[in-house]
Each structure stands twice: as structure tokens, then as C-alpha cells.
Amino acid sequence: MEAYRMALRRFAATPEDAFGGKGGLYAAGRWNRIGRPIVYTAEHLSLCALEILVHLQRGQPMQPFVWWRIAVPDGAVKDQHPLPPELERSREVGHQWLERRSSPVLRVPSLLIPGEHNLLLNPLHPAFDQGWIQQGPEPFSFDARLTP
């Protein structure tokens, strides 16, 4: 299964930065609480772009982004369905998954696009492998019509 990672170039210029999960140490997300490494990816590069756009602040200058492509072995993926309706519940699901280390990848439903999925990577799982990286970092620029 292919997955894509998109992030600001300054935070994802190397494989270690892009897939180390440091962001989870400092910020909570849909599927994580603050304090644990986690990496958010998506099944499609376009979904990565939408996930970035939904979090941009109006008037914020666009900074350089990069993207990466990885090949995730099917046996490494655990599915989470359905999307918990409450934010705190989805964070609890992600927290438990990270803590138990039941799989290196958790496939979760996208809140933005029904029927599409994000893939969460647990960089502390023993089966997580940076050898999954197939391509990157590649520069990415948003079309000016999409930016606030």
C-alpha cells in the first residue's frame, strides 16, 4: 500500500525528520495527544494537501513544503473503523494504539473526504522501517487559488 507524507520543508527535509514523529511530542492532532511520536500520512498526495490546507491560518504566508512516498507492507496495517464522532475519543483510540504498539501503521478514516483514509505511523514500533521510503523529499507548491 502506498502512502504519502507532506510537511513543511524545515520539518521534513530528511527521512529522520519526516518520519521521526517529533510533531506529536509538541502538538495534539485528530488521533493523538501531546507527548508521543506519531507521523500522519495519507493514501493520496491530494488528501495530504487538503489536510495541510484545512489547518492554514488566513493571511499566513506560504512556506515551502515537501512530500514523501512510502510503501507500507499490508501486514503492517491495522484498520480503525468507524471514525469516532468526538475528538477526544479519536485521540484516545490513537493514544491506546501508540501505547500498545499493536501495529506500526493504523489506517483511519479521513474526516475531510468520506471513503478515503489517513495512515498513522508509529515510529517507535519495532516493525516500523524507514526502508519503506520510496521517494522524497520532493518540493510541493500549492496553487495560489487554493491558499487563503
The per-residue DSSP string of 119-133 comes to: EEE-TTSTT--GGGE
Identify the pLDDT of residue 93.
96
- Least trusted range by pLDDT, from 52-66, 104-118, 127-141: 52-66
Span 15-46, pLDDT tens digits: 999 999 999 999 999 999 999 999 999 999 99
C-alpha cell of residue 72: 507500507
Range of the domain at 58: 2-146
Over 80: is that where the pLDDT of 57 sits? no
Put the strands of the sheet holding 105-109 in their side by side order: 77-79, 105-109, 117-121, 39-42, 2-8, 65-71, 133-140
**What is the mean predicted confidence (pLDDT) over 61-87?**
92
C-alpha cell of residue 113: 473526504
d(CA 86, CA 30): 10
Quote the pTM value. 0.94
Q: Name the residue with cell 474526516.
A: 111
Identify the pLDDT of residue 148.
59
**What is the mean predicted confidence (pLDDT) over 102-111?**
96
d(CA 71, CA 51): 20
- Percentage of the chain beyond pLDDT 70 is 96
Span 85-97, pLDDT tens digits: 899 999 999 999 9
Question: pLDDT band at residue 63, thresholds of 50, 70 and 90?
Answer: confident
- The domain total for the chain is 1
Bridge partners (DSSP) of residue 42 are: 4, 118
Identify the pLDDT of residue 21.
97
d(CA 17, CA 36): 15
